[in-house]
């Protein structure tokens, strides 16, 4: 085995092969610390040639591999076992090209999402993928998990933002699907198999991404709502009134907003009184710089008048509108902070579900009732991407319960919630993926034909089960 590691060291350089437990910890510590992760080694290749050589070497030694980006995934997709090698793409972090005229950019898989956003902005372009972990997650991981975030309503998820990609296959060959054309109707769309495959079909090494005009005018608000039905009515009227200007519509339960106010320094409730529900709304338009001031004022007025009308109709109880960028950022920070704040409320049993938009209120009613009947004192801490029908129906533990005893109930609570999602024709994993966390749900809710096709695809790409075995496919 030493021989095997020596060969890897020769490929990447000894300093980029990490075997000491203390040094591998950064790569084996899972975000939510729910899963134990170990590994034989972490390998940090510098380019696609090195990735291909490492994969060839692992394949020859029958060592299975866990591809990894920023290690910020939510379902244990980058967790490794003791005998496995983690291939981390972090050194491959070059922006290869920004083609402003073509509204596209080519990046290596290890680029941090925030760096990609900034590079686009430097060229007066916008890359819309935006999520809490953007300061450390990597685009390869975003594509491998088909990440979502807060702008999906208008721009779609990672899959919709990808024009082409390159990946290393399990036998060491390189699939060269890099392409920055928008129309390419030449056979099966292989890139879309790698996107969302969570490293089970290949290791994404680079991608061509779609860019958009930079938004120059922005209007943002936080509103207070009586119930989720009002949120649905408001979403519907805002979409009709603003067309595709609406980029973000996030729902937040009062408990989540108040937790952020209580636990996060300098976080206040934007509204003077508490409301059962809150929604964060962002609308943007792109206009030329000369017009920008007027465009912003016009958009803010439009949002203001929509909200005023909704208040008259008793859909909205109260509203706080941002009048400048700093205030808009503050409103966005509230949504980010409610994620961090939940940790202060004890254990959390998390869900990442989606249902057809019109069913969101019904889902929330049924799920709250079912969870509280099964576990009196359990506190639904629901928030999420209402514009996409995607709710993080997280449950905070009853305050007087032991954390471990609460978390031990997770399988039963998941079952209750996912059963309701199933009845409402939704998905038990809207944007986080399957990893190891949702394998049981795959078995239960995916139809037999889909599962059989997945296995055939897996065998075709990775006949010896070397890429991320035990993930995605139950
Ligand atoms: C978000 O929307 C993320 O903030 C995280 O998807 C959700 O931690 C969660 O449950
Ligand atoms: Zn989310």
Distance separating alpha carbons of residues 168 and 140, to the nearest angstrom: 12
Domain 2-88 carries which CATH code? 3.30.43.10
User: Domain map of the chain by residue range?
Assistant: 2-88, 95-213, 217-341, 346-431
Secondary structure tally for the chain: helices H, strands E: 16, 19
Indicate which ligand has the atom closest to the C-alpha of 336: 1
Nearest to 107 by CA among 204, 229, 3, 13: 204
- Burial of residue 165 (CB within 10 Å: 0-12, 13-18, 19+) is buried
Indicate which ligand has the atom closest to the C-alpha of 382: 1
Do 217-341 and 346-431 fold alike per CATH?
yes
DSSP assignment string, 332-363 = HHHHHHHHHHHGGGS-EE--BEE--GGGHHHH
Q: Are 204 and 109 in contact (CB under 8 A)?
A: yes
Pick among 3.20.20.70, 3.30.70.2740, 3.50.50.60, 3.30.70.260: CATH of 346-431: 3.30.70.2740
Indicate which ligand has the atom closest to the C-alpha of 338: 1
pLDDT at position 131, please? 97
Of all protein residues, whose CA lies closest to atom 3 belonging to ligand 1? 132
Distance separating alpha carbons of residues 316 and 239, to the nearest angstrom: 15
Nearest to 214 by CA among 329, 111, 295: 295
Indicate which ligand has the atom closest to the C-alpha of 390: 2
DSSP assignment string, 136-178 = T-BHHHHHHTT--BTTHHHH--GGGGEEEEEEE-TTS-EEEE-
- Burial of residue 411 (CB within 10 Å: 0-12, 13-18, 19+) is exposed
* Secondary structure class of 41 (helix, strand, coil): strand
The binding-site residues of ligand 1, defined as CB within 6 angstroms of any ligand atom, are 132, 339, 350, 384, 392, 394
**Of all atoms in ligand 1, which is nearest to the CA of residue 335?**
4
Instruction: Classify strands 212-213 and 125-126 as parallel, antiparallel or unpaired.
Output: antiparallel
Of all protein residues, whose CA lies closest to atom 7 belonging to ligand 1? 392
Q: How many CA atoms lie within 13 A of 399 on its CB side?
A: 2
How far does residue 388's CA lie from ligand 1's centre (Å)? 14
DSSP state of 204: E
328 φ/ψ angles, rounded to the nearest 5 degrees: -60, -40
Domain 217-341 carries which CATH code? 3.30.70.2190
Nearest to 228 by CA among 249, 199, 205: 249
pLDDT tens-digit series, residues 34-72: 898 999 999 999 999 999 999 999 999 999 999 999 999
Of all protein residues, whose CA lies closest to atom 6 belonging to ligand 1? 149
Q: What are the beta bridge partners of residue 203?
A: 168
pLDDT < 70 positions in the chain: 1, 287-293
Q: How many CA atoms lie within 13 A of 305 on its CB side?
A: 7
Q: Are 85 and 58 in contact (CB under 8 A)?
A: yes
DSSP state of 427: B
User: Per DSSP, which regions of 34-102 are E strands?
Assistant: 41-43, 65-68, 85-88, 95-99
Cβ partners under 8 Å of residue 185, min gap 6 = none
**Of all atoms in ligand 1, which is nearest to the CA of residue 385?**
2
DSSP state of 289: G
Q: Are 345 and 396 in contact (CB under 8 A)?
A: yes
Structure-token pair, residue 465: 């089960």
Architecture of domain 95-213: 2-Layer Sandwich (3.30)
Q: Are 280 and 268 in contact (CB under 8 A)?
A: no
Rounded-to-10 torsion of CA 357, 361, 367, 373: -170
pLDDT at position 250, please? 98
Structure-token pair, residue 123: 């060229």
How far does residue 87's CA lie from ligand 1's centre (Å)? 25
pLDDT tens-digit series, residues 404-431: 999 999 999 999 999 999 999 999 999 9
Structure-token pair, residue 218: 């922005």
Count Cβ atoms below 10 Å from residue 415 Cβ, excluding itself.
15
The b/e string for 176-205 (b: 16+ C-beta within 10 A; e otherwise) is ebbbbeeeeeeeeebbebbbbbbbbbbbbb
Rounded-to-10 torsion of CA 447, 458, 141, 95: -130
**Of all atoms in ligand 1, which is nearest to the CA of residue 384?**
2
């Amino acid at each position: 085995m030493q021989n095997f590691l020596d060969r890897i060291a020769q490929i990447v350089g000894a300093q980029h092969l990490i075997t000491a437990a203390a040094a591998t910890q950064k790569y084996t510590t899972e975000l939510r610390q729910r899963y134990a992760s170990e590994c034989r080694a972490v390998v940090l290749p510098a380019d696609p040639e090195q990735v291909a050589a490492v994969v060839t070497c692992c394949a020859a030694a029958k060592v299975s591999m866990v591809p990894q980006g920023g290690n910020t995934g939510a379902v244990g997709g980058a967790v490794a076992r003791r005998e496995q090698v983690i291939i981390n793409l972090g050194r491959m972090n070059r922006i290869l090209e920004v083609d402003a005229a073509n509204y596209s950019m080519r990046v290596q898989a290890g680029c941090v999402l925030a760096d990609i956003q900034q590079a686009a902005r430097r060229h007066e372009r916008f890359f819309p993928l935006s999520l809490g972990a953007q300061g450390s997650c990597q685009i390869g991981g975003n594509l491998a998990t088909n990440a979502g975030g807060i702008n999906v309503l208008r721009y779609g998820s990672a899959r919709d933002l990808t024009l082409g990609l390159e990946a290393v296959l399990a036998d060491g060959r390189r699939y060269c699907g890099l392409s920055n054309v928008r129309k390419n109707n030449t056979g099966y769309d292989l890139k879309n198999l790698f996107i969302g495959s969570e490293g089970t079909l290949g290791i994404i090494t680079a991608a061509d991404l779609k860019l958009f005009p930079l938004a120059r005018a922005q209007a943002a608000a936080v509103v207070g709502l009586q119930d989720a039905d009002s949120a649905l009515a408001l979403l519907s009227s805002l979409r009709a009134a603003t067309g595709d200007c609406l980029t973000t519509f996030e729902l937040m339960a009062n408990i989540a907003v108040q937790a952020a106010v209580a636990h996060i320094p300098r976080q206040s409730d934007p509204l003077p009184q508490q409301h059962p529900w809150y929604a964060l709304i962002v609308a943007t338009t792109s206009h030329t710089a000369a017009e920008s001031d007027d465009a912003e004022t016009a958009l803010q007025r439009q949002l203001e008048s929509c909200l005023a009308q909704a208040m008259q109709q008793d859909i909205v109880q109260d509203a706080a509108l941002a009048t400048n960028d700093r205030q808009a950022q503050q409103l966005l920070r509230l949504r980010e902070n409610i994620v961090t704040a939940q940790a202060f409320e004890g254990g959390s049993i998390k869900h990442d579900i989606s249902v057809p938009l019109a069913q969101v209120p019904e889902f929330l009613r049924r799920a709250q009732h079912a969870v509280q009947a099964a576990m009196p004192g359990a506190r639904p801490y629901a928030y999420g991407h209402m514009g996409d029908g995607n709710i993080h129906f997280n449950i905070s533990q009853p305050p007087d319960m032991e954390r471990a005893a609460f978390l031990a109930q997770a399988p039963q609570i998941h079952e209750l919630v996912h059963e309701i999602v199933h009845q409402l024709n939704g998905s038990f994993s809207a944007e986080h993926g399957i990893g190891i966390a949702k394998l049981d749900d795959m078995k239960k809710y995916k139809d037999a034909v889909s599962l059989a096709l997945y296995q055939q695809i897996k065998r075709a790409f990775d006949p010896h089960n070397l890429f991320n075995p035990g993930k995605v496919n139950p």
